[in-house]
């Protein structure tokens, strides 16, 4: 993909997702993710209805009339986007690949954070950390993140979320809002998730395709593992094979829900042919 085509795609995603973040998610994001607390702003004269506990007695004594302390919410936060770029994200039987939907969701969240003057960082991972962009503010920074989401070519197609979570804990010392975007066709990450969730506000967003849950009965077919590249023949007429595949897929989905629930982290799932807008809004409103 040449530079002109990349910029065109970045601009298209910016227009779509910024509109969503400005008109739909801005207020929800602000009310859902609170600042780090209250910080002193100023003192002013007492007004009827003010909480007497906020009276500044030193200033009151000095001027012989009541003054109160005014506090403001310390809003500045850091958002970390952890995005799965393994081979399984390049799957889709509807109008979009999982990767394309994940990119749109990530961009929407980034612009929502930008609107609230928060910092945004990015971790792209496969079975290793492929790219790390430290948190920073600004529109150009967000556009760089979107560009990387569109054009980045990972060195590996496998998945290891456990390693990515360990990396997050090592580079992000202060509390952050963390969104993990993946199809979560993996396991073995519960311990690292618990450690990270003790420090950060974590949400897992599972993006999946409806065709992944079952293998249709279409005879003997060639199949390729998107993450290992292995080719093999599969007899889809076999009920045993279809059942084993479904059980394996279901167990990974269940692992995702159990791991996030036990860790105290948030979780939601969105099919590629569903409206992720409704899913995110519903999630934000439940948390607010």
Q: Please name which of 183, 185, 226 lies closest in space to residue 83, comparing C-alpha atoms.
A: 183
Q: Examine the domain organization and report whether 110 and 28 are in the same domain.
A: yes
Last residue of a domain, one of 14, 49, 73: 73
Q: Each residue of 178-205: pLDDT tens digit?
A: 999 999 989 999 999 999 999 999 999 9
Domains contained in the chain, number: 2
Q: Which token pair is 54?
A: 């906020």
Mind listing the pLDDT tens digit for each residue in 211-222? 887 888 778 888
Binned at pLDDT 50, 70 and 90, residue 27 comes out as low
53 & 163 share domain: no
Shared domain check, 201 and 66 = no
Helix 98-115 × helix 139-151 angle, to 10°: 170
Average pLDDT over residues 75-99: 83
Say what the pTM is.
Answer: 0.79
216 & 162 share domain: yes
- 173 and 69 share one domain: no
Tell whether the model's pLDDT for residue 145 goes beyond 90.
yes
Q: Is the pLDDT of residue 98 over 70?
A: yes
The domain boundary residue, chosen from 73, 99, 124? 73
Report whether 204 contacts 267 (CB < 8 A): yes
Same domain, 197 and 280: yes
DSSP-derived letter for residue 22 is I
Whether 227 and 164 map to the same domain: the answer is: yes
32 falls in which pLDDT band (50, 70, 90)? low
Whole domain around residue 163: which residue ranges? 3-32+76-287
Decide if 231 contacts 223 (C-beta within 8 A): yes
Burial category of 203 from C-beta neighbours within 10 Å (exposed 0-12, middle 13-18, buried 19 and up): buried
pLDDT of residue 192: 97
Q: Are residues 46 and 150 in the same domain?
A: no
DSSP-derived letter for residue 217 is -
Same domain, 67 and 144: no
- The verdict on 28 and 133 lying in the same domain is yes
- If asked whether residues 7 and 124 sit together in one domain, one would say yes
Examine the domain organization and report whether 63 and 178 are in the same domain. Answer: no
| CATH number for position 156 | 3.40.50.410
Burial of 49 (0-12, 13-18, 19+ CB in 10 A): exposed
pLDDT band at 267 (very low <50, low <70, confident <90, very high): very high
From residue 103, give the alpha-carbon distance in Å to each of 14, 206, 246, 247, 278.
11, 13, 27, 29, 17
**Residue that finishes a domain, picked among 73, 89, 124:** 73
């Amino acid at each position: 993909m040449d530079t002109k085509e990349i910029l065109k795609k970045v601009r298209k995603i910016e227009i779509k997702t910024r509109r969503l973040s400005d008109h739909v998610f801005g207020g929800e994001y602000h009310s859902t993710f609170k600042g780090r607390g209250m910080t002193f702003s100023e003192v002013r004269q007492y007004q009827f209805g003010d909480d007497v506990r906020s009276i500044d007695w030193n200033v009151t004594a000095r001027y012989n009339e009541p003054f109160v302390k005014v506090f403001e919410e310390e809003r500045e936060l850091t958002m970390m986007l952890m995005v799965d770029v393994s081979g399984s994200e390049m799957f889709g039987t509807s109008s979009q690949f999982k990767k394309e939907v994940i990119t749109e969701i990530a961009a929407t969240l980034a612009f929502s954070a930008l609107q609230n003057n928060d910092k945004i960082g990015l971790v792209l991972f496969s079975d290793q950390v492929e790219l790390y962009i430290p948190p920073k503010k600004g529109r150009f920074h967000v556009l760089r993140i979107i560009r990387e989401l569109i054009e980045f070519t990972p060195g590996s197609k496998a998945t290891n979320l456990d390693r990515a979570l360990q990396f997050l804990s090592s580079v992000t010392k202060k509390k952050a809002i963390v969104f993990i975007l993946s199809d979560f066709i993996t396991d073995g990450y519960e311990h690292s998730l618990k450690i990270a969730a003790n420090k950060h506000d974590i949400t897992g967003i599972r993006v999946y395709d409806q065709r992944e849950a079952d293998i249709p009965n279409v005879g003997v077919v060639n199949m390729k593992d998107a993450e290992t590249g292995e080719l093999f023949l599969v007899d889809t007429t076999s009920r045993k094979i279809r059942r084993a595949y479904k059980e394996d897929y279901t167990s990974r989905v269940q692992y995702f829900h159990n791991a996030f629930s036990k860790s105290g982290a948030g979780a939601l799932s969105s099919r590629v042919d569903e409206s992720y807008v409704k899913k995110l809004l519903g999630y934000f409103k439940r948390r607010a």
